[in-house]
Amino acid sequence: MLGVIGGSGFYSFFGPDARSVTVDTPYGAPSAAITVGAVGAHEVAFLPRHGADHEFSPHTVPYRANMWALRSLGVRRIFAPCAVGSLTPALGPGAMVVPDQLVDRTRGRVDTYFDSGGIHVAFADPYCPSLRAAATNLPGVVDGGTMVVVQGPRFSTRAESRWFANQGFTLVNMTGYPEAVLARELEMCYAPIALVTDLDAGIDSGTAVRTVDVFAEFQRNLVPFKKLVHDAIENTANTAEVNSCTHCLAHEGVRLPFELP
């Protein structure tokens, strides 16, 4: 099964024929019930990251429960649509980007299932190359970029966004970590698909980022963005490496302290 974790403004994915599944986990309940439906020949599980009514802020999302619940349903590959700010004028609002690198600037978020056992996972390349290829092969998609994940829920100061840009980072986001590393620990292929909603404060000197503007830009682009995610799902059937991916099998030869769901 393939999974989709929807970000801000991305709360539904299927028509009325889909079914709702409630899952409990050792880490509590996920953000919302999981909706299971079809995209072409694919069975897809959809989970709204922030909850059905956007009740979870970035720092309160139950990330461990979300990823565990998806895996327990049989999900092994995840596309993660998300809203991002741009740290370069070359990527304006409406751009759709599949980043290839991540920088974690969060704090205090529980980012592992392995509180014991001395387990380490390779994370040099945080996103599944096979899933990325299924999305970047589509028209109009920007391939590559570094997404810096900040704690939130506040937006960056101008000085912070200029600092991020000077480091060569491309996008800024609040939810991409620990989601990506938890997927790796559960040996699930994972790739974000980012929609640029704004130029960050240090890049656009005339304005500051406002939530109302972010949501408005997301809504303006929601139809083509959903189509892109649908097309990426369909394209997995044409990307031979997806079903044989070994990049995300992080525990080969390692004895884990518990069984994965």
Q: What pLDDT, on a 0 to 100 scale, did the predictor assign at position 220?
A: 84
CB-CB neighbours of 236 under 10 Å: 23
Binding site listing for substrate: 174, 198-200
> Could you tell me how many residues make up the chain?
261
Rounded Cα distance, 196 and 198, in Å: 6
- Is there a catalytic annotation at residue 53? no
Q: What pLDDT, on a 0 to 100 scale, did the predictor assign at position 30?
A: 97
Binding site listing for phosphate: 8, 49-50, 175
Q: What pLDDT, on a 0 to 100 scale, did the predictor assign at position 40?
A: 86
Q: What pLDDT, on a 0 to 100 scale, did the predictor assign at position 240?
A: 58
Q: What pLDDT, on a 0 to 100 scale, did the predictor assign at position 8?
A: 61
Choosing from 17, 198, 213, 231, the catalytic residue is 198
* Per-run averaged pLDDT (10 residues), the chain, 261 residues: 82 80 96 93 93 93 98 97 93 95 97 92 96 94 98 93 95 97 97 93 68 77 89 81 81 91 93
Asked whether the beta carbons of 156 and 174 are under 8 A apart, the reply is no
Rounded Cα distance, 161 and 166, in Å: 9
- Is there a catalytic annotation at residue 198? yes
List, in order of start, the domains of the chain with CATH numbers.
1-236 (3.40.50.1580)
Binding site listing: 8, 49-50, 174-175, 198-200
